[in-house]
Amino acid sequence: MAAKYLPMREIMAQGAVMPILTVADPVSAGEIAKALVAGGIKVFEITLRTPAALKGLEAMRAAAPEAIVGAGTILNATDLHRAIGAGAQFGVSPGMTPELLKAVRQADFPFLPGIETTSEAMYAREMGFKELKLFPANVIGAIPWLAAIKPVFPDLVFCATGGVKPGDVLAHLSQPNCLQVGGSWVTPGDAIAKGDWKAIETLARQAASFKRPA
């Protein structure tokens, strides 16, 4: 039987920039998903930070069946199970707890635990997670951090998020252990509020044009 989910590393390889969005209503979520896909984005994450998030996730899956839609801001096993129930195809957390990682393993679900320190990297690795969210990237100085830990953890790869902007995407992606960056700039709140889906499509096209150096 085919596996239910793609491995996390394959999901990361579908897009060097992963839009991270927060929605207030499910109808907008569907429209945003269509605009992102129209702009060439294949993978994006909806945060579980609003009451509309789970309905928004369902709406995104329905509106863009060709996309890979993840749920972010998963803080515990309850969030995880709700996200999976709403159709999430991968999960992201700003951090990790033993209970959460155990639940992820039991669900056999692609997942990016969040880390910020070498000890957290070691813990995630020990728990079998080698694809990690590096958060908050701008606070820790992600670019020199990634360079410094590459020889120490050659098997770990990262999605750097938190304060990343178009102007520093390529500097992050030039680090060989940075497979992806994530950010909210592709889906700005004012464009969502105005229903300006064309603006989001334009930003998505720019985001989709970023590639990791060969």
- Window 169-198: residues binding ligand 3PG (CB under 6 A): 182-184
- Window 67-96: residues binding ligand 3PG (CB under 6 A): 72
Is 135 or 158 the residue whose CB approaches ligand 3PG more closely?
135
Burial of 87 (0-12, 13-18, 19+ CB in 10 A): middle
Task: Compute the least distance from the CB of residue 122 to ligand 3PG, in Å.
Answer: 22
Is 47 or 175 the residue whose CB approaches ligand 3PG more closely?
47
Q: Count the Cβ atoms, other than its own, within 10 Å of residue 141.
A: 10
DSSP string, 141-171: THHHHHHHHTTT-TT-EEEEESS--HHHHHH
Q: Element (H or E) spanning 82, and its range? A: helix 77-85
Give residue 212's Cα distance to chain centre.
Answer: 16
Map tokens 């990262």 to a residue: 158
Q: Decide: is 161 part of the binding site for ligand 3PG (CB under 6 A).
A: yes
Q: Decide: is 20 part of the binding site for ligand 3PG (CB under 6 A).
A: yes
Report the distance separating Cα 22 and Cα 189, nearest Å: 8
Q: Decide: is 135 part of the binding site for ligand 3PG (CB under 6 A).
A: yes
Q: Decide: is 111 part of the binding site for ligand 3PG (CB under 6 A).
A: no
45 has catalytic annotation: yes
Task: Compute the least distance from the CB of residue 47 to ligand 3PG, in Å.
Answer: 6
133 has catalytic annotation: yes
Return the sign of the alpha-carbon dihedral for residues 213, 205, 179, 170.
positive
Task: Compute the least distance from the CB of residue 88 to ligand 3PG, in Å.
Answer: 15
Catalytic residue among 31, 116, 133, 201: 133
Q: Element (H or E) spanning 182, and its range? A: strand 178-183
Q: Which residues are catalytic?
A: 45, 133
Which residues are at the interface with ligand 3PG (CB under 6 A)? 20, 72, 135, 161-164, 182-184
